[in-house]
Amino acid sequence: MGTVKRTFANNLLTSGKIDATDALSGTIPATNLANASLTNVTSFPSSLGGAVSSVASDPPSPTEGQVWYNTTSGALKQYSLAAGTWASGGNLNTARRYAGAAGTQTEALGFAGETATGVTAVTEEYNGTSWSSSNNMNTAREAAGGAGTQTAALGFGGNPGPTGATESYDGTSWTEVNDLNTARYQLGSAGTQTVALGFGGYASGTNQNATEEYDGSTWSEQNDLNTARRGTTGAGIQTAALCFGGYSPTDYATTAEEYDGTSWTAGGTLNTGRQNLAGFGTQTAALATGGEDPSTGATEEYNGTSWTTVNPLSTARHQLSGCGTQAVGLAFGGAYPIIANTEEWTKAVGVQTITAS
């Protein structure tokens, strides 16, 4: 800690505390001060910074992150994200489960999957209100990984096969690129079209732990997941990814793993173990929703350390797809039965009272 100045008598009590009866100026050696002793200080001069403003009523137009003390209610308040809720969005044109996903809540991409009559290559784009059809993938499949945005997406792996087929989407059409080294489906994914990550999955009757990185041209094998799993999902980017949920080795997984671009380490434990769930966000701010335990609407938020249960989906389902951020996301499709239902997740910004808890 630096020095504190005073103008009058030394305001340091014998206990080491500041009596705060008059202005602080002059110079007190830093060795005479301890952070733990700075208690019962009622005010500091403006030269030390306003820190938290005191107002009789809440500001009419606060900005996100702003903090103030309301003298009327006697409460410390902030303007920040409130609890999230799900709301109905426009239905898919083609009801399906196990679709690939990329993008955001208002610019989403849903591709491939399984309909009531079999696997499909159908691609649809979401504009925040409704879905519209786009060009099909070259290879029809279900349970593929997805990464990127609505206009620059990557789809890889899937079933039947399993396949390692990988395709790149430019906002209009799909182009075949180099395959995964390990063909599989029900795998997790993260990243962008040119810097993607694929991990876990299922092939030849066995849960997979293989991890591969995509550099915009080819896939390369990396260090494996610690726990092989299928029906898993992911969030984040290639160098800071999160894998969570799935089925391994004989039950619904609660475990999560964090990837740093080289290796996987244990993360926080989900409250509801499940497979075939949707996930999106970042490694330190992720959302898990839906899944099979059996079919559930359970939704949880991850803060980089632990998972917290929040408001559930309106329609419980598994084998669904999702994209977006922890604050603004999208969930669509799923089973059973196979549905076209879309829900939008939003954490509104609002005034909150800060409490000790």
Mean pLDDT of 149-177: 98
For residue 4, what pLDDT is reported? 45
Does 126 score more than 70 pLDDT?
yes
In the structure, what pLDDT confidence band is assigned to residue 31 with cuts at 50, 70 and 90? Answer: low
In the structure, what pLDDT confidence band is assigned to residue 336 with cuts at 50, 70 and 90? Answer: confident
**169 with 31, same domain?**
no
**92 with 44, same domain?**
no
**247 with 137, same domain?**
yes
**197 with 326, same domain?**
yes
**105 with 35, same domain?**
no
Residues 6+ apart with CB under 8 A from 252: 245, 246, 273, 274, 275, 291, 292, 293
For residue 353, what pLDDT is reported? 84
In CATH, what number is assigned to the domain containing residue 214?
2.120.10.80
Q: Does residue 79 sit within a domain?
A: no
Q: Does residue 43 sit within a domain?
A: yes
**28 with 109, same domain?**
no
For residue 294, what pLDDT is reported? 87
Relative to beta strand 67-70, strand 53-55 is: parallel
**115 with 170, same domain?**
yes
**118 with 20, same domain?**
no
For residue 38, what pLDDT is reported? 41
Asked if 91 and 341 touch (Cβ cutoff 8 Å), the reply is yes
Q: Does residue 35 sit within a domain?
A: yes
Q: Does residue 60 sit within a domain?
A: no
**111 with 166, same domain?**
yes
pTM, to two decimals: 0.79
Closest CA to 106 of 302, 327, 339, 277: 327
In the structure, what pLDDT confidence band is assigned to residue 342 with cuts at 50, 70 and 90? Answer: very high
**183 with 309, same domain?**
yes
**153 with 298, same domain?**
yes
**What is the residue-wise DSSP string for 199-254?**
E--EETTEE---EEEE-SS-EEEEPPPSS--BS-EEEEETTEEEEE--B-SSSB--
pLDDT above 70 covers what percent of the chain?
84
For residue 316, what pLDDT is reported? 97
For residue 25, what pLDDT is reported? 46
Mean pLDDT of 3-15: 47
In the structure, what pLDDT confidence band is assigned to residue 307 with cuts at 50, 70 and 90? Answer: very high
- Determine the Cα–Cα distance for residues 9 and 126; give it in Å rounded to an integer: 68
Q: Does residue 75 sit within a domain?
A: no
Q: Does residue 28 sit within a domain?
A: yes
Most confident of 6-10, 33-37, 71-75, 227-231: 227-231
**20 with 96, same domain?**
no
Mean pLDDT of 224-245: 98
The domain total for the chain is 2
Q: Does residue 66 sit within a domain?
A: no
CA-CA-CA-CA torsion sign (172, 138, 128, 150)? negative
Q: Does residue 92 sit within a domain?
A: yes
Domain of 16 in residue numbering reads as: 1-51
Closest CA to 79 of 69, 65, 68: 65
Does 40 score more than 60 pLDDT?
no
Hey, what are 31's tokens? 């060795």
